[in-house]
């Protein structure tokens, strides 16, 4: 019953008219949006309505949370939800936004997944048990501005949240059939090992070597590359691209604006 009411409420939210100011923010901040098909744009805006109605935002260090901040975060996060039945990152309740990188007290750092910036500085953080996510607004803006540099803080942190949907932060999101799971496990094992080896020897890689930290970071980094460097990923890591395409039910190589791989 509860699930039914929630779904009805979400359907209502998705059908609401989109405030004009949101469209302005999106066209200002998020170049990827214009490259989506009209159907995908509509679906995405519907998800953004639900996301913004359900998630709590808090500004930290004096930052005032504006529509600009909320819509910029929500639109990128919801890109990960297209074409699937979704419960809208159910383990995430609150998004804390700092004006810029923040410093984490290592004593209370509980296995959070971290987008690193030196030893103590963080640009983003979320954890399976946290119920929250911390993001730096200046890193969100710079990550959004260039849709094809392979780096995107919001996609990274929300990939972790997708990973938590099956109650584990192990780099394996909720997959469908046993065959899909087997195929995912085999491809990821090989790709993760290859990134670790490249990291150890200093060979330059398409995937950020932060992904060599563990399988959970590998998934988050691969998600950034999938949406921001899809053509290069498809070319250089076709099996990894294939797994990601099946999981995300999207083929961003078809609308990517990335420069030709050289
Ligand atoms: Zn991470």
For every residue of 128-171, DSSP letters joined together read: TTTSEEEEEHHHHHHHHH-TTSS--HHHHHHHHHHHHTTT--SS
Span from the CA of 101 to the centroid of ligand 1 (angstroms): 15
Q: Tokens standing for 162?
A: 């997708």
Span from the CA of 209 to the centroid of ligand 1 (angstroms): 12
Span from the CA of 98 to the centroid of ligand 1 (angstroms): 17
Question: What pLDDT, on the 0 to 100 scale, is given for residue 96?
Answer: 95
Using an 8 Å Cβ cutoff, are 255 and 40 in contact?
no
Span from the CA of 179 to the centroid of ligand 1 (angstroms): 27
Span from the CA of 235 to the centroid of ligand 1 (angstroms): 24
Span from the CA of 8 to the centroid of ligand 1 (angstroms): 33
pLDDT tens-place values along the chain, 262 residues long: 568 899 999 999 999 999 999 999 999 999 999 999 999 999 999 999 999 999 999 999 999 999 999 999 999 999 999 999 999 999 999 999 999 987 766 544 434 455 444 445 678 888 777 789 999 999 999 999 888 888 999 999 999 999 998 878 889 999 989 999 999 999 999 999 999 999 999 999 999 999 999 999 999 999 999 999 999 999 999 999 999 999 999 999 998 878 765 4
What does the alpha-carbon distance between residue 179 and residue 158 come to, in Å, rounded to a whole number? 25
Which residues have their alpha-adjacent CB atom under 5 A from ion ligand 1?
113, 217, 220
Q: Tokens standing for 35?
A: 């490259």
Span from the CA of 105 to the centroid of ligand 1 (angstroms): 17
Span from the CA of 106 to the centroid of ligand 1 (angstroms): 16
The DSSP output letter for 221 is H
Span from the CA of 220 to the centroid of ligand 1 (angstroms): 6
Span from the CA of 18 to the centroid of ligand 1 (angstroms): 31
* Displacement of CA 227 from its chain's centroid (Å): 9
What does the alpha-carbon distance between residue 223 and residue 229 come to, in Å, rounded to a whole number? 10
Span from the CA of 218 to the centroid of ligand 1 (angstroms): 8
What does the alpha-carbon distance between residue 119 and residue 48 come to, in Å, rounded to a whole number? 34
What does the alpha-carbon distance between residue 50 and residue 6 come to, in Å, rounded to a whole number? 11
Span from the CA of 245 to the centroid of ligand 1 (angstroms): 20
Question: Is this structure's pTM higher than 0.95?
Answer: no
Using an 8 Å Cβ cutoff, are 224 and 208 in contact?
yes
Span from the CA of 1 to the centroid of ligand 1 (angstroms): 36
Using an 8 Å Cβ cutoff, are 125 and 112 in contact?
yes
Span from the CA of 64 to the centroid of ligand 1 (angstroms): 25
Question: What pLDDT, on the 0 to 100 scale, is given for residue 111?
Answer: 42
Question: What pLDDT, on the 0 to 100 scale, is given for residue 262?
Answer: 44
Nearest to 49 by CA among 74, 20, 76: 74
Question: What pLDDT, on the 0 to 100 scale, is given for residue 204?
Answer: 92
3-state SS class at 65: coil
Question: What pLDDT, on the 0 to 100 scale, is given for residue 109?
Answer: 40
Transcribe 198-261 into DSSP letters.
HHHHT---SS-GGGGS-HHHHHHHHHHHHHHSHHHHHHH-HHHHHHHHHHHT--GGGT--PPPP
């Amino acid at each position: 019953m509860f699930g039914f009411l929630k779904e009805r409420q979400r359907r209502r939210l998705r059908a609401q008219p989109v405030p004009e100011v949101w469209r302005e923010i999106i066209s200002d901040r998020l170049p990827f949006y214009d490259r989506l098909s009209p159907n995908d744009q509509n679906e995405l805006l519907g998800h953004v309505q639900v996301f913004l109605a359900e998630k709590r935002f808090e500004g930290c260090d004096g930052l005032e949370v504006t529509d600009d901040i909320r819509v910029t975060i929500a639109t990128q996060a919801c890109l990960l939800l297209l074409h699937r039945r979704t419960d809208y990152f159910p383990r995430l309740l609150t998004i804390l936004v700092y004006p810029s990188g923040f410093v984490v007290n290592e004593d209370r750092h509980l296995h959070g997944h971290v987008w690193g910036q030196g030893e103590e500085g963080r640009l983003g953080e979320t954890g399976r048990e946290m119920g929250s996510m911390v993001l730096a607004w200046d890193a969100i803006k710079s990550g959004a501005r260039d849709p094809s540099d392979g780096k995107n803080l919001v996609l990274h942190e929300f990939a972790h949240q997708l990973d938590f949907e099956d109650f584990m932060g192990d780099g394996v999101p909720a997959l469908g059939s046993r065959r899909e799971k087997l195929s995912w496990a085999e491809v990821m094992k090989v790709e993760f090992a290859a990134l670790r080896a490249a990291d150890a020897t200093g060979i330059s890689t398409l995937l950020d070597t932060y992904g060599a930290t563990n399988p959970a970071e590998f998934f988050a980094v691969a998600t950034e590359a999938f949406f921001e460097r899809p053509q290069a990923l498809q070319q250089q890591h076709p099996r990894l691209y294939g797994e990601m395409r099946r999981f995300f039910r999207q083929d961003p190589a078809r609308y990517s604006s990335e420069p030709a791989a050289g």
